[in-house]
Chain A
C-alpha cells in the first residue's frame, strides 16, 4: 500500500516535470523582464543557469515582468552570527542593489553569492572589474536550488528503495510494481560494479556508499535534464564532496599491503622507492579524486551548456533561417543532444561509481604472493 503510494507520488512528480517542458522551451525568449536576444545576453543567461541559485525560479512573464517560482530559505553565517530569511527578500535582484538589513548586518546578493556589507556601508561599491570593494562573502548554508535538488533526490531514493526493502520484508521474494525496475539496478551495481572491482570478500562493506552515490548522481543528473533547471552535479562543490568521500573511504580502508606497496614499493631499486612513494601518494590523494570530480563536473556542465546553447539557436539563427526554420532546427538538435544527455546521465553515474569501486578495490586488495 505504502509502496503504491510512493509510486503514485513519483508518477505525479514526473508528470509535473514533463508538463513544465512547454514553458522551458521558450526559456530563451521570456525569462527575464527584458527579452534575451543577443549572443552576449544568452551567454550570460546560460552562465547564470549553470550557477547555483537562492530561489526556485521556473519561468517569468515577459509582459508583466512577473517571476514564477518559489523562494528558498537563506541561511548564512555572518560576522554577527547565524542569519536566516527567505530569498524573496532579495526581490530577484542579483547585482547587489537590494540590501537586506538584518539589524546588525546588511546582506546583498551579487552573482548568486551572498555578501555581507562592511560596517557602515549602506550600498555596494564596485571596482572596474565589477568586484565589490566594501563587502565580503559569507559562509552560505542556504537551502539553495542545488541543496533543494539534493534533498529531493534523497527523498526520492528513500521513498523508492525503502518501498522495495519493505516489499522483501513482507515475505515476498520477488518485488512488485516499481521495485521491479529498481531491483535490477541494485543488482547491476552490486554484480557489475562492486563485485568485480572490490572482490567477493570485501565488497559488501562498501555497498552502502556505492549504491547511494550511484543513485544520487544518476537521479541528480536526470533532474538536471528536466526543465526545472537543476544543475547539482554541475556544481564543483558537489562533485568535490563526492570525490572526497571516495578518497576518505579508500584511504581509511587501505590494507597493509596497499600501504606497503604505496610507500615502499617492493621489487624496485631502493633509490627509486621514495620517488615512487611520492608519485603514488600524489596519485591516490590528489590526482584520482581530482579526475573524479572534474570528470563529473565537466561532463554535466558541458551537457547543460550544449543543450541550452542549442535551444538558444532559435534566437541566434532567427535572422538567417526565419522563426520557423531556427525553431525547428534548434528543436531537432536539442532533442538529439537531450537523448545523448540521458545516456550521459547514466554513464557519468556509472563511471563515478565504477572508478570509486576500482580505487577502493586497489586499496583493499591483499597480495598473497609474498
Chain B
C-alpha cells in the first residue's frame, strides 16, 4: 500500500485528467457525434426501407386479393350469362318444337279434311256412275229381253262380265 501511494504521481494524475478531458471533448465533437448520427441515420433508413417494403408487400397482397375477387366476379358473371343463354336456347327450341307440332297438326287436320271431302266427292261420283251404268245395263237388258229369252240371258251374262271388267 505504501509503495502504491508512493507510486501515485499527482503530476501524472493531472496530466491524465487534462488529456482525457480534452480527448473526450475532441472525440465527441469530431468523431463520436458524426459517427453516432450517421449510424442512427443509417439505422432509421434501414428501418424505413424495411417498413416501406413491408407496406409494398401488403399493398401487393391487397392488389392480388382484389384481382382475385374481380376474377371471381367475372367468372360468376360468365357462368350466369352462359346459363341464361342455355336457358334461352332450350326455350327457343322448345317453342319452335311446339309451334312446328301445332303447324303440322293443323296441316294434318286440313289434309284430312280435304281428303275427306275428296273421298266424299269420289264416292258421290262413283255412286252416280254406278247408277248411270245400272240404268244403262237395265236399259240394254230390257231391250234384249224383248227379243229373245235366251239371248236376253246371254246378254245379261256378257254385260255382267263387261261390268266386272270395268
Contacts and interface: CB of A to CB of B under 8 A. Distances in A.
B23 A157 contact: yes
A28 to B, nearest CB: 23
Interface residues of B, number: 32
A165 interface: yes
A227 interface: no
Contacts of B35: 161, 164-165, 168, 183, 186
B34 A169 contact: yes
A187 B35 CA distance: 10
Interface in B32-55: 32-39, 42, 45
B36 A150 contact: no
Contacts of B27: 157-158, 161, 208, 211-212
A238 interface: yes
B34 A236 contact: no
B8 A236 contact: yes
B165 interface: no
A293 to B, nearest CB: 11
Given A236-B8, A237-B8, A216 B31 contact: no
A186 B36 CA distance: 8
A190 interface: yes
Contacts of A166: 34
Contact of B16 (A158, A164, A237): A237
Contacts of A238: 12-13, 16
A140 B32 contact: no
A212 B23 contact: yes
A151 interface: yes
B15 A141 contact: yes
B135 interface: no
Contact of B28 (A51, A190, A208, A240): A208
A154 B34 contact: no
A23 to B, nearest CB: 26
Contact of A237 (B9, B36, B45): B9
A208 B22 CA distance: 12
A245 interface: yes
Nearest to B35: A165
Interface in A191-232: 204, 207-209, 211-213, 216
A235 interface: yes
B19 A150 contact: yes
B19 A147 contact: yes
Given A173-B42, A216-B23, A237-B16, A211 B11 contact: no
Contacts of A165: 30-31, 33-35, 38
B80 interface: no
B13 A190 contact: no
A3 to B, nearest CB: 13
Q: What 9 A-B pairs have minimum CB-CB distances, sorted nearest first?
A: A168-B38, A161-B31, A140-B11, A208-B28, A165-B34, A237-B13, A237-B12, A241-B16, A154-B23
